[in-house]
Amino acid sequence: MSARRTYFKAMASAKKAHWSDFLASATPRSLWTAKRFAFGHPPQRFPDLPGASDPAKAAETLLDHFIPSKPPPPPVLCLTHYEDYTPLTSEGISRALSKSSNTSAPGPEHIPYSVWKSVHRIKPSLLPSLMDPLLAHGFQPPSLKIALDIVLDKSGKPSYDSPSSFRVIVLLRTLSKILERVVASRLSGHAGICSLIYPLQCGSLP
């Protein structure tokens, strides 16, 4: 019995010494290995939803939870041309693109902002000519509203058998996001001029 205790005590001491040496000589790459040894493998986070026997059923359940079906909007029968709108300029597009990160995930068209920046640099008149008619008629076509929905798990959940254990991020088309930035910048400026923003508001403003 004494030999048994001595053996396990020596094993524990050797493991502790080896672990200390490993941490002392850890590199940025091996830190992730140390984390995995310390915390073990993360729990299974794949959806285990009741009644969803395959990935297609799981996707359908999550879709119904986060984006419930609704009747389509009525079709636009006639567009109104607004004569007093402010035309887009290449400088406005450049400002919107400067705030767009090249590493941002693109939407369903898979065109990153870096492509639009190169296009705009080569032909500055292209993007304004594409977007100007939309502003002139106050119309956002359905094709620009198509998005890519990515389901992410929420960490620290005891189980993943409920849609509430997940969250969704929506990736719109980058062309739509550029137009959105231009319009948001204009609205922000008009809101300040027309005193529509509380004077002490400092967050979410340029």
> How crowded is residue 172: how many other Cβ atoms within 10 Å of its Cβ?
17
pLDDT value of position 41: 66
The pLDDT value given to residue 153: 85
- Helix, strand, or coil here: 167? strand
Helices (DSSP H) in the chain: which residue ranges? Answer: 2-24, 31-39, 55-66, 90-98, 113-122, 126-137, 174-193
Question: Per-residue pLDDT for the chain (206 aa), expressed as one digit of tens each?
Answer: 777 788 888 888 888 888 788 778 878 777 778 777 777 666 566 677 777 778 788 888 888 888 888 888 888 788 899 988 899 999 999 999 999 999 999 999 999 999 999 999 999 999 999 999 999 999 988 889 899 988 888 887 877 888 888 888 999 999 999 999 999 888 888 888 888 888 888 877 76
> Residue 110: its pLDDT value, please?
92
Please report the pLDDT score of residue 48 as a whole number: 73
pLDDT at residue 42, as a whole number: 62
Q: Among 165, 141, 143, which Cα is nearest to 153's?
A: 165
pTM over 0.75, yes/no: no
Q: Which pLDDT does position 87 carry in this prediction? A: 92
CB atoms under 10 Å from CB of 64, counted, come to 11
